[in-house]
Amino acid sequence: MLETNKTNKVNMRTIKLAPSILTADFSKLFEEIRAIERGGADLLHLDVMDGQFVPPITFGADIVAAISKITNLPIEVHLMVTNPEQHIESFSQTADKINFHFEASDQISETIDAIHKLGCSAGICINPETPVDMVNNYLEKTEQIMIMTINPGWGGQTMMFEQLNKVKELRKTIDIHKYKTQIEIDGGVKIENIGLCAEAGADTLVCGSSVYNSKDKPESNLAKLRSAIPD
Ligand code: DX5
Ligand code: ZN
């Protein structure tokens, strides 16, 4: 019997798991998504890449809309695109959360406001080379900050562990000011390091290749990941 929807609390925070379909089998996407629903996913993480901000191209708002029809999971889009402000309206039709990159926009505050006006939660993602204090001015008005623990563009990379220091620093800042902003980690999350991610202060963990791989079924992988989070 698979363990699903177990609540793991670390420092009084419930850790959410957000599978990314980047390494899923797209020829059977419906079943791949059903599997993580059975495995107790908290939300679905969709990686949108434009071939400019990052070299690969994945998919756009029409595919996100199609995916939203086959799942009831909340959807967050991770926009790895230049000029994200030009694209948020189309994604807002079907996504619940829109995360864009700090490095991709010179209109951070305006973009957050626009996302809110369109009825979605707003998140800022920061690349490994971006200092975490660059987002301090926006903490009060964003629902989440995503710390990239890999260079964006591909699944299956090894976590850059030093990036967890940014998570710890951000956790302190958020707690001191009692902001509601949540912290998300994206990149290289695995059974072996999921405890460290939780203890560093993350609220949500993106899991790509640790869920969709040839070792086991996605639902089993997801349940094992959840069990590896310390209570
Ligand atoms: C990469 C994406 C990630 C990717 C993570 O740019 O943002 O969401 O799917 O994959 P893993 O978990 O394999 O590092
Ligand atoms: Zn992502």
Residue nearest to atom 6 of ligand 1 (CA): 152
Q: What is the CATH number of the domain that holds 178?
A: 3.20.20.70
Q: Is residue 2 part of a domain?
A: no
SS (H, E, C) 140-167: CCCCEEEEECCCCCCCCCCCCHHHHHHH
Q: Which atom of ligand 1 is nearest to the CA of 208?
A: 12
* Residues in CB range of 26: below 8 A, 6 or more apart: none
Dist. CA 200–CA 136, nearest whole Å = 18
| Mutation pick for ligand 1 pocket among 26, 36, 154 (CB with most ligand atoms within 8 Å) | 154
CA of 20 to the centre of ligand 1 (A): 7
Q: Which atom of ligand 1 is nearest to the CA of 22?
A: 9
Asked whether residue 4 carries a pLDDT value surpassing 50, the answer given is no
Ligand number nearest CA of 213 is: 1
Q: Is residue 3 part of a domain?
A: no
Which positions are catalytic?
47, 186
* Residues in CB range of 114: below 8 A, 6 or more apart: 85, 88, 89
Q: Which atom of ligand 1 is nearest to the CA of 78?
A: 7
Q: For ligand 1, say whether the CB of 204 is within 6 Å of any of its atoms.
A: no
- Return the percentage of the chain with pLDDT > 90, whole number: 93
Q: For ligand 1, say whether the CB of 166 is within 6 Å of any of its atoms.
A: no
Q: Which atom of ligand 1 is nearest to the CA of 159?
A: 14
Minimal CA–CA distance to 125: which of 186, 166, 56, 170? 186
CA of 20 to the centre of ligand 2 (A): 7
pLDDT of residue 1: 34
pLDDT of residue 2: 40
Q: Which residues form the domain of 36? A: 8-227
| Mutation pick for ligand 1 pocket among 103, 148, 150, 213 (CB with most ligand atoms within 8 Å) | 150
Residue 81 or residue 14, greater confidence: 81
How many folded domains does the chain comprise? 1
Q: Is residue 215 part of a domain?
A: yes
Q: Is residue 1 part of a domain?
A: no
Ligand number nearest CA of 155 is: 1
Beta-bridge mates of residue 56 = none
| Mutation pick for ligand 1 pocket among 76, 149, 186 (CB with most ligand atoms within 8 Å) | 186
pLDDT band of 13, cuts 50, 70, 90: confident
Q: Global pTM?
A: 0.96
Asked whether residue 11 carries a pLDDT value surpassing 80, the answer given is no
Q: Is residue 206 part of a domain?
A: yes
Report the relative pairing of strands 182-186 and 16-19 from DSSP bridges: unpaired
